């Protein structure tokens, strides 16, 4: 054993002399450092939001999550520090939700088994985005992470797109999503970052590809199955959101895996993996699908994110 003086520790009692400039610099850096545990709100604790709540809650953050349904409060209470029943169209509820939060994640989508009509889409995404922007004027939120969709790119007939590609979807639902992105991006300030993650189709536990493609086994489908569909596993959505939070990302990032397969290739893999009869394609009939595009994930990778599931889990 020997006595040593830690010259790097400004509070070391045996330190020969106290360098005030260095101490001031250390204290300044300390004050700027992000707290280990944050107050986080997740607006929309559905499939993704609940998994995210579980992830952050386990890591010690104080997580407040929302649902529109009283029936979900009991189950969400297991994953969240606090549950709020509210809709994004309720301006005062949004305002009280964001008070005292460091980070707000928006993960709303129209609820229900039916495909939502356009009016519901507008209320869900646009009213929420507008109320959030108003509420942010009176809050000290450091970062907003908004879950959008690669559907904003529209149909590109199999071409590649990246975050700089122009947006020109002919579908009203996709236009609503990109308008919501713009509303939030315009609210960005030096001390309030806005990060948009454009997700591919979401899959994962209870949303496995076999549930979607399995029922097609043995059928003859119209077209050639040449459309590209982009996917992202829920594990990657959770990890990428945490990556965006920890690295204070701002701006737009695509979030899709590396697989880049056509629907025919995806269906073939599912049928092969589960021993199901193959799907046949009839090129004489017009294909069902509306969109085909290949989405680049290079920007997020260049920022340092490593995919948990780069290839489709089948
Ligand atoms: N599904 C996909 O393949 C896909 C693809 C690309 C992007 N996205 C985006 O990814 C995000 C997460 O999707 P998900 O599959 O986790 O959605 P989800 O399971 O349908 O969950 C949506 C959540 O939003 C809540 N919600 C519904 N209407 C609302 C409103 N008007 N105001 C506030 N909250 C409302 C729901 O409340 P309840 O708890 O009451 O149900 C639910 O908690 C969404 O932003 C979605 O647009 C999804």
SS3 67: strand
Residues with CB under 6 A from ligand 1: 44-49, 66-69, 72, 87-89, 107-111, 123-124, 128, 147, 149, 199, 201-202
Separation between Cα atoms, residue 192 and residue 180, nearest integer Å = 17
Angle at 162 between CA 161 and CA 165, to 5 degrees: 75
- Nearest Cα neighbor of 178 from 152, 144, 156, 155 is 152
Instruction: Give the other-Cβ count within 10 Å of 296's Cβ.
Output: 17
Q: Which amino acid residue places its CA nearest to atom 45 of ligand 1? A: 107
- Strand bridging mode 143-149 / 103-106: parallel
* Top mutation candidate among 41, 42, 44 for ligand 1, by most atoms within 8 Å of CB: 44
Shortest-distance Cα residue to atom 31 of ligand 1: 124
Per-residue pLDDT 10s for the chain (314 aa) are 334 444 445 455 555 555 777 777 766 665 555 667 899 999 999 999 999 999 999 999 999 999 999 999 999 999 999 999 999 999 999 999 999 999 999 999 998 655 678 888 888 999 999 999 999 988 889 999 999 999 999 999 999 999 999 998 788 888 999 999 999 999 999 899 999 999 999 999 999 999 999 999 999 999 999 999 999 999 999 999 999 999 999 999 999 999 999 999 999 999 999 999 999 999 998 887 778 999 999 999 999 999 999 999 99
Q: Which domains does the chain have, with CATH numbers?
A: 35-204+232-257+291-302 (3.40.50.720)
pTM for this structure? 0.89
Gap from CA of 125 to ligand 1 centroid (Å):
10
Q: 107 C-alpha vs ligand 1 centroid, how far in Å?
A: 5
């Amino acid at each position: 054993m020997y006595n040593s003086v830690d010259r790097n520790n400004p509070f070391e009692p045996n330190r020969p002399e106290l360098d005030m400039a260095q101490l001031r610099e250390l204290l300044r850096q300390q004050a700027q450092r992000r707290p280990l545990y944050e107050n986080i709100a997740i607006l929309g604790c559905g499939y993704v939001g609940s998994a995210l709540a579980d992830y952050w809650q386990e890591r010690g953050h104080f997580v407040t999550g929302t649902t529109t349904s009283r029936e979900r409060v009991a189950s969400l209470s297991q994953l969240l520090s606090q549950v709020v029943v509210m809709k994004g169209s309720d301006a005062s509820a949004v305002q009280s939700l964001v008070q005292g939060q460091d980070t707000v994640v928006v993960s709303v989508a129209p609820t229900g088994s039916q495909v939502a009509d356009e009016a519901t889409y507008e209320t869900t995404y646009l009213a929420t985005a507008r109320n959030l922007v108003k509420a942010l004027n009176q809050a000290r939120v450091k970062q907003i992470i908004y879950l959008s969709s690669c559907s904003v790119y529209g149909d590109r007939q199999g071409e590649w797109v990246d975050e700089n590609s122009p947006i020109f979807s002919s579908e009203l639902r996709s236009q609503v999503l990109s308008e919501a992105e713009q509303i939030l991006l315009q609210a960005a300030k030096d001390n309030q970052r806005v990060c948009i993650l454009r997700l591919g189709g979401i899959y994962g536990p209870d949303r496995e590809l076999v549930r979607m493609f399995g029922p097609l086994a043995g059928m003859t489908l119209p077209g050639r199955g040449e459309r590209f569909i982009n996917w992202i596993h829920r594990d990657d959505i959770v990890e990428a959101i945490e990556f965006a939070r920890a690295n204070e990302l701002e701006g737009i990032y695509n979030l899709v895996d590396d697989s880049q397969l056509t629907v025919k290739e995806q269906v073939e893999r599912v049928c092969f993996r589960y021993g199901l009869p193959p799907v046949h394609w009839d090129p004489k009939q017009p294909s069902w699908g509306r969109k085909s595009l290949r989405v680049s994930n290079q920007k997020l990778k260049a920022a340092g994110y490593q995919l948990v599931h780069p290839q489709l889990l089948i």
